[in-house]
Structure 1
C-alpha cells in the first residue's frame, strides 16, 4: 500500500506528507518504507514488483489517489473514453524531478481548453498562471465535482483541487504518469478497468475510509499504509473477490466503498498463521509427544477476530485483553455479619455503649456514628464514619437504648476492608482466560461493562472414507457407521468452540477439495478424520500435499502416530487418524490445546494425578502411550483391549493413563499418571 505525494523531495528524515509504502502478507505487515520523492518511489516499486514476480508471487498494490476523473473528462480531453488514454496524455506532458515539476502548468493548459476557469483550481506558485485560478471564487467546472465513489465515501476530496488541505488533484497529476510507466513495464492490471488476471494489480485506496486518527507517537501516513496493508492482506479470497466486484469502467473506484464494515472487521482480525508454522526440523522422522506439543505451543497464535461484549454476554468467550477493575471490590469498607458497629476494639470484660437511632443496611449511603455510640449494622452494609469494628448480634444484649457485650473484641473484627478482594485498576481477569461463571461474577463485581473478547472459534468437522455411512442408514457389507464425526462435534462443543458439521466425503479427491473449500469458507480451523497417513487411499494428506501445504507429523504416540497438519485456503487443517480411539486421543492431546491457542486462550495443560495402578503392563521404550482408564476403589484400571477400533472402551473410560516414552514394568500398586476426562474439558 502506498501513500502518495504531489510535492517535491522531502529530505532524508522521515516526515509527514511524504511518500510512504508498506508490504504485508497474510495479515502481517512489515515496517513502512519512507520514500523521499517520486523517483525513489518508482524505483522502489519496480524492484519490489520484479522480485515478487520472479519469486512466483502476485502483488496487489494500492495507491491513495484516484485512477480516473468524473465521467466525460477523458473523452473531452483525449477524444477517448478509455481512462488509459488519459494516463498516456498525462505521461507525455508531466515533467517531474525531485525539486520541481510542471503540474500547475499542465492543469492550466487543461483549463484553457475548457474556457480558462476550470476544472482545476489552486495555483501554488508565486507567478500567475493564465487559466489557473488561485482560489475557488472564480472557479467554473464544466464537469462533475466528484466521482460517484467520492459521493459515497463521505469526506473524500475532489480530484480538481491542486493545493491546500485535501490536495488530491496534485497527487493524481503526479501519480498517474508513474503508474502508466509501471503498468507498461510489468503488464499490470488496473482495477476496476481490467480483469485482475495478471501478476501485478493496481487498486485505488483511501485510508481515511475506515481509519481514524493515528496514534499520537506515529506519523499518520506511515501508520495508515501499514494498517491498510495489514487489513487488506488479511482478507480471505472470497472477501477480496466480493470487494473487487465493481463496475466503474471510466471513473474508477475506491477499494472498500460500500464494504466499510467488512474492512473494519478485518482490521480487528489477528494475522493468519504462516504456512511454515507446522514445519519440523530437517531429518526428524518420529516426533516425541512433548516436542510436538512444544512446537504447537510456540508457533500457534489466535486466528479469530475481536469484539466487545457485555459481561453477561462474555461467558464462554476468551478475553482478548486484560479486564481491569473499574472500581475496588468491595468499593467501601463493610461488615461481614449482622451485628453492632462501633469504633475500636475492646478489652476483656463487659462493655456498654449507647445505641444510635440510625441503622446501616446494604445499599445505604454511609452515614456517621456519634462518638462513643454503637449502631445496628447488617451484613454487606458500608461502614459509616466512626465504625471500624463489628460485634455479632448473637453476642450482644439490647436494653434501655444501649447494648452490652463481653470482650475482648479485636479492632476491625467482622469487617472487610475496601479493595481487600480487588483494587481499582488491578487486572481482574487476564487476557487468554475463558470467562466462566466465577470470572463473570468477578467482572461484574469490579464494575466491568464491556470487555474485549475473541469471536468463537469455528471448527469444521469432516469425515472421509468410502466405507463410511451415516448412523442409522443401511450399511452394506464392508461399510461402517461414521462414529468419528458425532464424537468430534460434541468434543469441540464441550471445548467451548462452535462446531460446523461438514458431513462425510468419499475417497474422491475432487469431492474432497470441494468440501475443503466449503469448510474453509465457513470455519477458522478444519478437523478431518481418516486419510491422514501416506497410503494410496489417504486422500487428506494427498490433497494437502498437492496444495503445497502439508506436514505429516509421525508422532511417537500410541494410539495415533500419523497427524496431518497443513493449510487449505489459509485455514489450518488437523488431519486426525481414522480409528475412533486414535482420533479421540489425538484430538484430546494435540487438537484441544492447539484449538485453544487458535481461539485466543492460554495453552491448556491437562491436570494429571499420580495414582496406584490396578493393572500390569510391560511397556517397551519409544512411544508415549495413552490407555483408556477409570478409577475404582482408589486405583486406576485400564480397558482390557488397546485396539484403536474398540469404541466401547471410550464409553467405558473416565480418563486416560499416560505412560511416558521410556520402558516401564508396571505392576499393581505402581504409580501412574491418570488424567480424568474432566481435565480435558469433557463432561
Structure 2
C-alpha cells in the first residue's frame, strides 16, 4: 500500500453538547495533509463529529490520499468482557453490540443506564462504576467502594502506559468509560458506511485507504502553550508528529500483537530485545531427516502451520454472497416466526377421530401477512391460506380438497392428527440458535436463511488475495508469435481462473523472464498486495530456477519432495512474510498441486477452515497396476456410473485436464485395479471449481 498522506487526530468526549463557544473537555480534531496542518476544529457534539469524520473520509478517499485517523479512547475492553457480553472474543462484534444499544442525542444519552443494565447481568456491582446523573441507576454504583469487577480492571497495555485510565469508570476525572461507550458506535457506523475502505488497528491489517488507530495524547504531551486550549493543541501536535514520522518508524510502532483488548499506539510491548537469525527453519520446514513426504503428512503440516490472515468487516446481506463468515450467525428471529399453515384449507383445534364430521365455519379468514383478528372457539373452523399465521384456537389444518363447504359449515372425514398440515414456530430455526457457522462461504440459499431469521448484515472476512506469477524465458502470451523453443503461458490463466472460482481475489503479476532482479521486484510487489503467492516454473534446483534460488537466498525455502504423481517437487517459502507456493511448471502437475495442497491451505488462510474435498467410491472402468510409495491422481470422469481415466498419464497432455471432470485418487500403497474395483473419484466441484 502507498504511505499515508493525511493524518488526523480526534480528542473525544462522552458528554453532552458543549455549546457554540470553543472550550476544553470537548471534541477537538486536527488534520495534517501532506505535512501541512489545518486549524484544529471544535465539534460541540458527537453528531457533528460523526458528520465531520464522514466528510473527511469521503474527501480523502475520493482524492486518493490514504488517511490515518487517531482517536483517544480504548478500542477494546479487558479480556473476557467481549465474550461474556456477546458470545464472541471478536472486539468488533462488541462494537456492533454497543452501536445497537446506545441512544445518543446532543443533550442526552443512555450511557449510564446501559452501564447499569450491563452490571445487572453480572450481579449488579460491576464492572462499570460512577453514576454521573442525579437519579439513581440500579446496578451502577456511584463510587468505587461498593464496586466488584468480574473482569480485569485494566487492559495489558494500560499496565504499561503510566497515566492511563480504566475503561470501567463512567464519570468524574478520567472517565474513559463514557468515551469508549459513546465512541465505539460512531466508529462502527463509519466502518459500515465506508465498508471495505477502513481497517481498525490492531485488529486488522492496515491495507485499506483509511486506518482507525487508538492514540492517547496525554501519555506523551504536557501542558499546552499559554493561550491555547489543551485539547486543541494536543490533537494538532499528534497529527503533526505522525505526519513527520519516517514511514519505517511508524511501521515499527504499528507492529504489535494484540488480541481482543487492543493497544495504544506508541506504547512498547514487553518483548525480548533480541533479533532473530535469518529464517532458515520457517513454518514450512520439514522434520529433520525427512526427504520424501507422504501426501497426508504434507497436508497435516500445512494445516498445522497456517491460519486465517484476512480481516473482518460488517457486511450487508446484499454484499455477503461468496464471503466467508467470520463468526457463527445467531438467528434474531425464529423461522417460522409463529405457527402457520402449510396448505390452503380449514383450521380448527385438536385431533380429529375417524368418521364423518361437520363443523361450523366462522366468517373471515387468515392469509399470509393478513392474520385473523380473533380467536377460533373449540368445535369451529376458519378458512386459512398457505403461509398464514394460525390464530389462537387453531392447531390443525385440513386440505380444502378434502372438505365440502355449505351453509357456513364444512364436512370432512377423519382421522386427522393434531398439528396436521401446520408448521410450528421455530421448527426450522429458533431465535438464539446458530443459523450458520463461522467459516462458511455464503451461498444464495444462505442469503434466504439469513434474511428469514432477521439478519440484515453479517461479520465476514475480506476475500483472500492471491497473486499469480509465471516464470520462464520460454513463455509468451497467447496470441503472440512464438519463436523456436517458446511455448504459450498456459499456467497463469489457469491458476488465476482457479483462484477466482475458489472465491478469492486475484492479482495478475504477469510473466517474468528468467531474470532474478525482475523476479525479485515482482515478488516484492506481490507480497505487498496479496496474502499468498502462486508461482509456476523455476521451483526446482536448476541454473534458471530463480524462484527457489531467491527463496533460498532469503532463508525461507523448503523444497518438499512429495510422494505424489504428478507434481513431485513443491517449493514452499515466505517472501516478506507472505507464503509462496512454488508450483511445477507443467500445467497438469501445477493444477494437481494447486487442488491438493494450495486449495486447502488458501481456504485456511481465508478463514473458511481446512477444505476436505468430498470423494465418492465408484467402480473403475479401467485397469492399472501401481507400485507402492507414491499417491497418484489420474484425470478422470464418470460415465454410466463408472470412472474412466484419460488414455495417457503423461503430464504434458494438457487436453486431459479439459477432458476430465475430476481426479481418481489412488492410495500410497501397491494397487492392481481391475474393471469393477472401487476407486475414489473426486469431482472438480468438490474443490470449488
TM bin, normalised by shorter chain, reads 0.5 to 0.7
Shift of 1:147: 12
Match of 1:220 among 154, 176, 179: 154
Whether contact under 8 Å (1:611, 1:674) holds in the other structure is yes
With normalisation by structure 1, the TM-score equals 0.65
Shift of 1:571: 1.3
Match of 1:575 among 582, 585, 595: 582
For residues 126-185 of structure 1, what are the alpha-carbon distances to aligned partners after superposition, in whole Å with 9 as ceiling and x for unaligned?
Answer: xxxxxxxxxxxxxxxxxxxx9988986999xxxxxxxxxxxxxxxxxxxxxxxxxxxxxx
Q: Return the alpha-carbon distance in structure 2 between the equivalents of residues 498 and 666 of structure 1.
A: 40
Query: Aligned pair in 2 of structure 1 residues 357, 233: CA closer, same or farther (>3 Å)?
Result: closer
The residue that corresponds to 2:404 in the other structure is 397
Q: Does 1:325 align with 2:189?
A: no
Whether contact under 8 Å (1:341, 1:390) holds in the other structure is yes
For residues 342-374 of structure 1, what are the alpha-carbon distances to aligned partners after superposition, in whole Å with 9 as ceiling and x for unaligned?
Answer: 011111111111111110001123532133210
Q: Return the alpha-carbon distance in structure 2 between the equivalents of residues 252 and 426 of structure 1.
A: 46
Q: Return the alpha-carbon distance in structure 2 between the equivalents of residues 356 and 442 of structure 1.
A: 35
The residue that corresponds to 1:301 in the other structure is 307
For residues 482-540 of structure 1, what are the alpha-carbon distances to aligned partners after superposition, in whole Å with 9 as ceiling and x for unaligned?
Answer: 00011111111111111111110011111001011111122111111111122221111
The residue that corresponds to 1:467 in the other structure is 474
The residue that corresponds to 1:513 in the other structure is 520
The residue that corresponds to 2:54 in the other structure is none
Shift of 1:240: 13
Shift of 1:252: 7.0
The residue that corresponds to 1:529 in the other structure is 536
Whether contact under 8 Å (2:205, 2:311) holds in the other structure is no
The residue that corresponds to 1:292 in the other structure is 298
Q: Does 1:500 align with 2:500?
A: no
1:624-639 matched pairs, under 5 angstroms: 624-639=631-646
The residue that corresponds to 2:318 in the other structure is 312
Please report the RMSD computed on the Cα atoms of aligned residues, expressed in angstroms.
3.8
Q: Does 1:360 align with 2:366?
A: yes
The residue that corresponds to 2:441 in the other structure is 434
Q: Return the alpha-carbon distance in structure 1 between the equivalents of residues 479 and 409 of structure 2.
A: 79
Whether contact under 8 Å (1:153, 1:257) holds in the other structure is no
Whether contact under 8 Å (1:629, 1:636) holds in the other structure is yes
Query: Aligned pair in 2 of structure 1 residues 307, 549: CA closer, same or farther (>3 Å)?
Result: same
Q: Return the alpha-carbon distance in structure 2 between the equivalents of residues 489 and 435 of structure 1.
A: 21
3-state DSSP of counterpart to 1:278: coil
Q: Does 1:559 align with 2:566?
A: yes
Matched pairs, number: 482
The residue that corresponds to 1:477 in the other structure is 484
For residues 359-403 of structure 1, what are the alpha-carbon distances to aligned partners after superposition, in whole Å with 9 as ceiling and x for unaligned?
Answer: 000112353213321000001111000000000000001000111
Query: Aligned pair in 2 of structure 1 residues 544, 270: CA closer, same or farther (>3 Å)?
Result: farther
Shift of 1:224: 5.5
Shift of 1:213: 5.5
Whether contact under 8 Å (1:330, 1:419) holds in the other structure is yes
Q: Return the alpha-carbon distance in structure 2 between the equivalents of residues 238 and 423 of structure 1.
A: 37
Whether contact under 8 Å (2:204, 2:312) holds in the other structure is no
Match of 2:668 among 661, 671, 678: 661
Q: Return the alpha-carbon distance in structure 2 between the equivalents of residues 233 and 496 of structure 1.
A: 23
Whether contact under 8 Å (1:269, 1:303) holds in the other structure is no
Query: Aligned pair in 2 of structure 1 residues 465, 240: CA closer, same or farther (>3 Å)?
Result: farther
For residues 312-368 of structure 1, what are the alpha-carbon distances to aligned partners after superposition, in whole Å with 9 as ceiling and x for unaligned?
Answer: 211100000100000111110111110000011111111111111110001123532
Match of 1:282 among 279, 284, 288: 288
Unpaired runs of at least 5, structure 2: 1-29, 44-68, 82-126, 128-150, 165-199, 214-233, 263-278
3-state DSSP of counterpart to 2:428: coil
Whether contact under 8 Å (2:291, 2:561) holds in the other structure is yes
Q: Does 1:548 align with 2:412?
A: no
Q: Return the alpha-carbon distance in structure 1 between the equivalents of residues 31 and 497 of structure 2.
A: 53
The residue that corresponds to 1:621 in the other structure is 628
Q: Return the alpha-carbon distance in structure 2 between the equivalents of residues 556 and 569 of structure 1.
A: 29
Query: Aligned pair in 2 of structure 1 residues 557, 438: CA closer, same or farther (>3 Å)?
Result: same
For residues 560-579 of structure 1, what are the alpha-carbon distances to aligned partners after superposition, in whole Å with 9 as ceiling and x for unaligned?
Answer: 11111111121111111100
Match of 1:385 among 383, 392, 408: 392
Shift of 1:268: 9.5
1:17-36 matched pairs, under 5 angstroms: none
Q: Return the alpha-carbon distance in structure 2 between the equivalents of residues 302 and 153 of structure 1.
A: 40
Query: Aligned pair in 2 of structure 1 residues 264, 566: CA closer, same or farther (>3 Å)?
Result: closer
Q: Return the alpha-carbon distance in structure 2 between the equivalents of residues 331 and 237 of structure 1.
A: 41
Q: Return the alpha-carbon distance in structure 1 between the equivalents of residues 201 and 684 of structure 2.
A: 40
Q: Return the alpha-carbon distance in structure 2 between the equivalents of residues 606 and 512 of structure 1.
A: 33
Q: Return the alpha-carbon distance in structure 2 between the equivalents of residues 484 and 465 of structure 1.
A: 11
The residue that corresponds to 1:99 in the other structure is none
Match of 2:594 among 579, 587, 595: 587
Q: Does 1:351 align with 2:357?
A: yes
Q: Return the alpha-carbon distance in structure 1 between the equivalents of residues 638 and 549 of structure 2.
A: 41
For residues 86-144 of structure 1, what are the alpha-carbon distances to aligned partners after superposition, in whole Å with 9 as ceiling and x for unaligned?
Answer: xxxxxxxxxxxxxxxxxxxxxxxxxxxxxxxxxxxxxxxxxxxxxxxxxxxxxxxxxxx
Unpaired runs of at least 5, structure 1: 1-145, 156-204
Shift of 1:235: 5.6
Whether contact under 8 Å (1:268, 1:305) holds in the other structure is no
Whether contact under 8 Å (1:211, 1:224) holds in the other structure is no
Query: Aligned pair in 2 of structure 1 residues 266, 308: CA closer, same or farther (>3 Å)?
Result: farther
Whether contact under 8 Å (1:463, 1:529) holds in the other structure is yes
Whether contact under 8 Å (1:270, 1:305) holds in the other structure is no
Q: Return the alpha-carbon distance in structure 2 between the equivalents of residues 238 and 380 of structure 1.
A: 46
Whether contact under 8 Å (2:77, 2:260) holds in the other structure is no
Q: Return the alpha-carbon distance in structure 2 between the equivalents of residues 265 and 306 of structure 1.
A: 18
Structure label with greater radius of gyration: 1
Q: Return the alpha-carbon distance in structure 2 between the equivalents of residues 534 and 377 of structure 1.
A: 76
Query: Aligned pair in 2 of structure 1 residues 396, 560: CA closer, same or farther (>3 Å)?
Result: same
Q: Return the alpha-carbon distance in structure 2 between the equivalents of residues 521 and 585 of structure 1.
A: 27
Q: Return the alpha-carbon distance in structure 1 between the equivalents of residues 436 and 470 of structure 2.
A: 38
Query: Aligned pair in 2 of structure 1 residues 436, 267: CA closer, same or farther (>3 Å)?
Result: farther
Shift of 1:220: 3.5
Query: Aligned pair in 2 of structure 1 residues 266, 295: CA closer, same or farther (>3 Å)?
Result: closer
